[in-house]
Structure 1
Amino acid sequence: MTTPRDMLIMSLDRTSGHPPERGDLSLALAGAELIDLLGAQAISLDGDRIVPGYRPAIADHLLDEAASALVRQAPYESVDDWLWRRGRDLSTAYFAALEADGQLTRQREGRLPFSPRRLVLADSPARRLAVDRWTSDEPVLAAFAEALGIRDERTGDDPSVVDDEVATVLAVVNDALRHLEFERQRRAIHDAAFDNIWRGE
């Protein structure tokens, strides 16, 4: 399994099938892809710029797709630009991949034929591995969970990420998530003001 898939599984597992906003997940998934590519030595960082390395064989097709999508010409792409470009609808692709692999199923929420369906995690080896990684307080997965607001209440200090490049990616992901939340709030305020004008308030 990969960090993006483990993160997505845990986001479903910890939120009873109702994960965080798709936009938040997409940004975090794009960041998780970078961390796995760093681990595979397929990239390195020069400041906040993603410098492609050698092109390894990657079994996971979405992570392989990410490696193929890297900008390979100087001045290269910033981590922030990558998150917004690669992250566009990325959660949809990962949900589809998990469903195609039989790791997600759809169950009706009610008894009526037209009741909405929700995604439910299958009891799979992949889910058990993700849970093991979660319960071991693996620093990267814990950091993504914290950023997405799905951490449990825990005692003691959170495990820290010691790799500087990984820490850089995580910091940029956190900034991008805050920016996205700011835009949501700004849009909500704008829409509310527009509604008030039409109602004459």
Structure 2
Amino acid sequence: MTTAKDLFIIAMDPALERPVGQGDLSLALAGAELLDLLDAGAITVDGDLVVPGGSSVPDDRLLAAAAAGIVRQPPHERVEDWLWRRGQELAAAYQDALEEDGELRRKRSGLLPFGPKEVEPVDTPTRRRAVARREEGDPVLASLASAVGLDGERADDDEPSPGDETVTTVLATVHEAVMELEAVRQRRTIENTAFANVWRGP
């Protein structure tokens, strides 16, 4: 399993008080993929640039797709730009892949048999490993979980340190991207409210 899939699985925990935003999760998944590729030697990070490394192709098909999307020629892509580009609809791609692998199943919400469908993790060895990794305090998974709000509000000085400058750079960029997305949401809410008030009149 990959860090990205571990993150998605714990984000689908039915015990969560509020669902994780798909945009936030997509950005964090893109960051998790970078860390998985870094760990596999498929990339390096030079400052804030994603630089292709070895030629080995990851076994995981989503990670292989991520590796194939790395910009091979200079000027290389910045970590932040990778997150926004790769992160488009990435949560949906992981949901489809995990459903196909039998790691997620669909359930119906509400009392009506034709109510909206949701997904929940299946109790598999993969899910148990992901949960155990989180409970053991894996610093990378904990930081990604914090970025998408799985651990509530967390002060910067409480963030777990992964002990690697490159990993820290990627994680910090994920947090910044999620905060930027939230700022965009708030701005749109304000603009929509102002627009509605204009039409409503005095």
**Scaled by the length of structure 1, what TM-score is found?**
0.94
Rounded Cα–Cα distance in structure 2 between residues aligned with 1:161 and 1:48:
17
Structure 1: unaligned runs, 5 residues or longer: none
- Residues 92, 20 of structure 1: alpha-carbon distance in 2 compared, 3 angstrom cutoff: same
Across the aligned residues of Structure 1 and Structure 2, the Cα RMSD in angstroms comes to 1.8
Rounded Cα–Cα distance in structure 1 between residues aligned with 2:40 and 2:112:
48
- Secondary structure, aligned partner of 1:172: helix
Give the structure 1 partner of residue 33 of structure 2.
Answer: 33
- Residues 104, 16 of structure 1: alpha-carbon distance in 2 compared, 3 angstrom cutoff: farther
Identity in percent: 53
Contact 1:17 1:120 in 2 (8 A): no
Moved over 3 A (4+): 14-19
Contact 1:17 1:118 in 2 (8 A): no
Q: Do residues 135 (structure 1) and 140 (structure 2) align? A: no
**Scaled by the length of structure 2, what TM-score is found?**
0.93
| TM superposition shift of 1:151 | 1.6
Comparing 103-112 with 167-176, greater Cα deviation is found at 103-112
Contact 2:48 2:169 in 1 (8 A): yes
Comparing 6-15 with 169-178, greater Cα deviation is found at 6-15
- Residues 153, 48 of structure 1: alpha-carbon distance in 2 compared, 3 angstrom cutoff: closer
Rounded Cα–Cα distance in structure 2 between residues aligned with 1:152 and 1:29:
18
| TM superposition shift of 1:159 | 3.4
Give the number of equivalent residue pairs: 199
- Report matched runs for 1:1-201 at 5 Å: 1-13=1-13, 15-16=15-16, 19-151=19-151, 159-201=160-202
